[in-house]
Structure 1
Amino acid sequence: MKVVLGCDPLLAPLTGIGHYTQQLGTGLLNSSRIEKLKLFAHGKYYGHELLLESDNSEKSEIVNGTLWAALRSNLASSNLAVSLYSKLIPLIEKRALSGKRDYIYHSPNFLLPNHGGKRIVTIHDLSTLVHPEFHPSSRVKLVNQAIEQSVKFADHIITDSVFIKDQLCDGFALPVNKVTAIHLGVSEHYFPRNEVQCNHVLSSYGLGFKQFLLFVSTIEPRKNVLRLLQAYQLYREQDSSGLPLILVGGAGWNSDEEHRIIKKLEAKGWIKYLGYVKQSEIPVLYAASKGIVFPSLYEGFGLPVAEALQSGVPVITSENSAMSEFSAEGVYQVNPYDVDSIKMAICNLAQNDHESKSITFDWSDTVEATIDVYGC
């Protein structure tokens, strides 16, 4: 099989979809089942070096000079940029792909160009359709139009969970055999660690082994940070010597209120907001924590939950969600809209000792299942 893999998520600092694209691309490149692999984004082909973990300066050298570099900073807020993007890019992409009809095109991020060969698209979630209030209006319009076009023209669709597959099939009246749910993998850097293995990171942040709760994600409304903070405050008012809450992640869209409360609780000495930390430190923080709190309102998969389970630590997460389908022993499922439900789970997690068994989410399984879809 010959594959063109969309690589647009690799052209900026890696988020969850960027890591998915990187892991998938690396797996395809190393697979004996794939004859040729080309990386493609916004009308341009890129070398395989884009799959390597590199710092931002190296990435900038690869990306500079592209139309995407000129537009990307404006897409979230400018209707003009969105309009320009939607009109020009399809024409450029069609021309660039015209000689690759014998290739399977796989878009890892809902945007499916006009390709004459077989087309596969991964739709990670439907948050812009189900919860448009969690996104800027210009982004909602762009993403929803792209999803509708992808659903219409894709030969097959991949989702990260059965939860999203069901929403997609119900919302677009799709036959279930047109959509395949494939769980994501988790980096091998996430595994159980003892105190000695964690001390080098914990000492730099003044933290004790198994003496804190951890939240890792972007600070934004969809992650339910406000209710988490309210629940945590109730827990600390009930237990003044309770565990601190450590928050790791950048400031997302429309998060002013979350940051106001974070500063208030920081002043009490209850919370530490670390913002961005080195990627190499995050797996250590997972393994060193008493547990992960992730009562998100909506996820396509919920990677922090899988990372925690592979690290062998307990988790608080949302019931009736994508996370529910791979949750295991050591997972507290809560009503994410009920502050008291979250608070009770925090109390239980903090006050009890847990010996959670590590569950492995292997990226090679994700890659093999994806290649199976290519051959359908």
Structure 2
Amino acid sequence: MKVILSVEPVRFPLTGIGRYTYELAMRLQQSPEISDLQYFAGRSFLPALPTAAETSGSGYGLKRAVQKNFLAIEAYRLLMPYLRKRALKGHGDYLYHSPNYYLPPFAGRSVATFHDLSPFTWAHCHAPQMARYLQKELTVTVARADALITDSQYTRHELANYFNFPLERIHAVPLASSPEFYPRTAEALAPALARHDLAPGGYSLFVSTIEPRKNIDTLLDAYGRLPLALRRRWPLILTGYHGWANEAIHKRLDQAKREGWARYLGFVPSEDLPLLFAGARLFAFPSLYEGFGLPVLEAMSSGVPVVCSNSSSLPEVAGDAALMCAPMDVDALTANLQRGLEDAAWREQAVACGLAHAARFSWERCTAQTLDVYQTVSQGR
């Protein structure tokens, strides 16, 4: 097969979609089933797989400004498909895969990965101008795609129902945690954690974009109900991309920091993230809606007990290894957090179950199942 892979998500900040794209690309380029693999980003082919920068480049601020301007977004939406179509001309014998929703006009067969349906089903949790842009573009993608990939069975069925798209042309391909997420000794963790004024086993962790859909207000409500001594012994540490509509959350975090029980680290370098995971006493993730929930798997792979919500795809990802409750149930979340911090017997069981459960997911399996989708589409099945 000859494949064009869009690698545009491999950039700062490297989110879950960027990680998925990078891990998939690394393995596709080693696959004997692919005779020619081309990387595409923006409106041009790249000579090699890019790596994500640790800091924003000169164009990042401009991109953020454009995302806040409706006219600029609309101009981009109308112009870029035309430019991409020109760049892809003459490649109709390739299969085009977008790991990040968007499919340009393309003469050959094409596949897109949908990670969730939040622009449609949780539009209020996106900036309005971006929600409108995504709704228009993703509706076009569904019309263009020969097949769609989702990260979970939950999103597979949600996508089929929402767009009345044939279920047999949607393929659930689970993600995985990367090899750098594994249990580590306190001695190995101490130097890196000290840079963030943290100690191994001395904090609870939340990792994700700081935005409404992640349910951080409820997490702060629940954590704030724990005994103060417990909160100060194991403060809640949050890290992730700054996101949007989070001014009230940051005010609450500033207050909690003054009280000594919570702190926001900002967006940490990628080499520090696995160490932050492995050093946590507990990972908390009460998200309202996830297409997969990769941080839950990364925590389990790191040997860290998990407390999360039972919403959307998270039961698929967490299995029986996590304490789960309804995302808005503050009392149940508080009880789960306290048990997760203090119940030694449950913690020991959760670590063992989490490691065994996470081991069932791998990027090799993800790549093999993706190649199966390519073969099905290439053969017109």
What TM-score bracket applies, with the shorter chain setting the length? Answer: over 0.9
Distance in 2 of aligned mates of 1:87 and 1:128: 19
Residue of structure 1 aligned with 2:301, choices 301, 310, 314: 310
The equivalent residue for 2:15 is 15
Distance in 1 of aligned mates of 2:198 and 2:130: 38
Distance in 2 of aligned mates of 1:112 and 1:36: 20
The equivalent residue for 1:249 is 240
Distance in 2 of aligned mates of 1:150 and 1:71: 26
Distance in 2 of aligned mates of 1:41 and 1:281: 27
The answer to whether structure 1 residue 35 and structure 2 residue 35 are counterparts is yes
Decide whether aligned partners of structure 1 residues 261 and 53 sit closer, same or farther in structure 2, where only a CA change above 3 A counts: closer
Measure how far apart 1:101 and its partner are.
0.5
SS of residue in 2 equivalent to 1:280? coil
SS of residue in 2 equivalent to 1:84? helix
Measure how far apart 1:41 and its partner are.
2.6
Q: Is the 8 A contact 2:309 2:324 kept in 1?
A: yes
The equivalent residue for 1:294 is 285
Number of equivalenced pairs = 367
SS of residue in 2 equivalent to 1:186? coil
Q: TM-score, normalised by structure 2?
A: 0.91
The equivalent residue for 1:349 is 340
Which letter maps to 2:201? Answer: K
Measure how far apart 1:31 and its partner are.
1.2
SS of residue in 2 equivalent to 1:246? strand
The equivalent residue for 1:80 is 71
The answer to whether structure 1 residue 134 and structure 2 residue 125 are counterparts is yes
Q: Is the 8 A contact 1:236 1:242 kept in 2?
A: no
Measure how far apart 1:317 and its partner are.
1.0
SS of residue in 2 equivalent to 1:90? helix
Measure how far apart 1:288 and its partner are.
1.6
The equivalent residue for 2:379 is none
SS of residue in 2 equivalent to 1:9? coil
Q: What's the CA shift string for 1:244-300, capped at 9, x where partnerless?
A: 111112321010000000000100111122112222121112112111000011111
Q: Is the 8 A contact 1:191 1:312 kept in 2?
A: yes
Measure how far apart 1:307 and its partner are.
0.2
Q: Is the 8 A contact 1:71 1:81 kept in 2?
A: no
Q: Is the 8 A contact 1:211 1:243 kept in 2?
A: yes
The equivalent residue for 2:44 is 44
Q: Is the 8 A contact 1:76 1:136 kept in 2?
A: no
Decide whether aligned partners of structure 1 residues 262 and 55 sit closer, same or farther in structure 2, where only a CA change above 3 A counts: closer
Q: Is the 8 A contact 2:200 2:279 kept in 1?
A: yes
Q: Is the 8 A contact 1:313 1:330 kept in 2?
A: no
Which letter maps to 2:20? Answer: Y
Distance in 2 of aligned mates of 1:331 and 1:26: 30
Measure how far apart 1:87 and its partner are.
1.7
Identity %: 36
Q: What's the CA shift string for 1:33-57, capped at 9, x where partnerless?
A: 111111113321112141x355558
Aligned positions of 1:1-376 closer than 5 A: 1-50=1-50, 52-56=51-55, 72-237=63-228, 239=230, 242-353=233-344, 354-355=347-348, 356-357=351-352, 358=355, 359-360=358-359, 361-376=361-376
SS of residue in 2 equivalent to 1:120? strand
SS of residue in 1 equivalent to 2:257? helix
Distance in 1 of aligned mates of 2:295 and 2:2: 33
Decide whether aligned partners of structure 1 residues 239 and 289 sit closer, same or farther in structure 2, where only a CA change above 3 A counts: closer
Decide whether aligned partners of structure 1 residues 310 and 102 sit closer, same or farther in structure 2, where only a CA change above 3 A counts: same
Measure how far apart 1:213 and its partner are.
0.8
Using the TM superposition, name which of 40-49 and 306-315 deviates more: 40-49
SS of residue in 1 equivalent to 2:272? helix
Measure how far apart 1:13 and its partner are.
3.0
Q: Is the 8 A contact 2:173 2:369 kept in 1?
A: yes
Q: Is the 8 A contact 2:289 2:311 kept in 1?
A: no
Distance in 2 of aligned mates of 1:71 and 1:104: 32
Q: Which runs of 5+ in 1 are unaligned?
A: none
Distance in 1 of aligned mates of 2:315 and 2:180: 23
Distance in 1 of aligned mates of 2:159 and 2:7: 23
Using the TM superposition, name which of 138-147 and 357-366 deviates more: 357-366
SS of residue in 2 equivalent to 1:100? coil
Distance in 1 of aligned mates of 2:332 and 2:197: 30
Which letter maps to 1:298? Answer: Y
